[in-house]
């Protein structure tokens, strides 16, 4: 459980960073003349909190198969998409939504999610490699 909370905390900070980049890119493309106020600084933090909710809820104590992990990742992505869209556009529905803004948000959330998964994989890979190297050095010193 402690490791799960640590991973979600790391995911939060990665999400906040990637959301800042996504807002910057979308802003330059879709609204280059728009100026943001100080309230815009809280949006990535809120998105980060909303983005880790599915990860906290979908915690599993048992080891998942590759297929179950893929299904869980797809459900998490869809959940995050829905949460962010409802948070952005409200519960009233998406009838009067600007299509370019809608697509920008959907694609940004997908890219941020994939970015988080890739970065977490690389961090885990680096940790596993270091542990393997340490184990080999330990075995070599004991022989």
Asked if 106 and 13 touch (Cβ cutoff 8 Å), the reply is no
pLDDT digits (tens, 9 = 90+) for 71-80: 988 999 999 9
Asked if 48 and 19 touch (Cβ cutoff 8 Å), the reply is yes
Neighbours of 17 (CB within 10 A): 16
* pLDDT score recorded for residue 80: 93
Q: What is the pTM assigned to this prediction?
A: 0.81
CA distance 142 to 38: 59
pLDDT digits (tens, 9 = 90+) for 2-58: 888 888 888 999 999 999 999 889 888 888 888 888 888 898 999 999 989 888 887
Model confidence at 101, pLDDT cuts 50, 70, 90, reads: confident
Write out the two tokens for 107: 């694609």
């Amino acid at each position: 459980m402690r490791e799960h909370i640590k991973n979600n905390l790391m995911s939060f900070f990665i999400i906040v960073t990637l959301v800042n980049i996504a807002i910057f890119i979308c802003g330059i493309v879709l609204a280059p003349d728009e100026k943001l106020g100080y309230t815009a600084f809280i949006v990535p933090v809120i998105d980060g909190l909303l983005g880790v909710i599915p990860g906290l809820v979908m915690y599993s104590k048992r080891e998942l198969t590759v297929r179950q992990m893929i299904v869980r990742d797809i459900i998490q992505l869809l959940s995050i998409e829905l949460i962010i869209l409802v948070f952005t556009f409200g519960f009233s529905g998406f009838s009067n939504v600007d299509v370019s803004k809608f697509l920008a948000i959907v694609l940004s959330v997908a890219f941020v999610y994939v970015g988080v998964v890739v970065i977490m994989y690389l961090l885990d890979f680096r940790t596993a490699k270091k542990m393997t190297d340490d184990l080999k050095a330990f075995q070599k010193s004991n022989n």
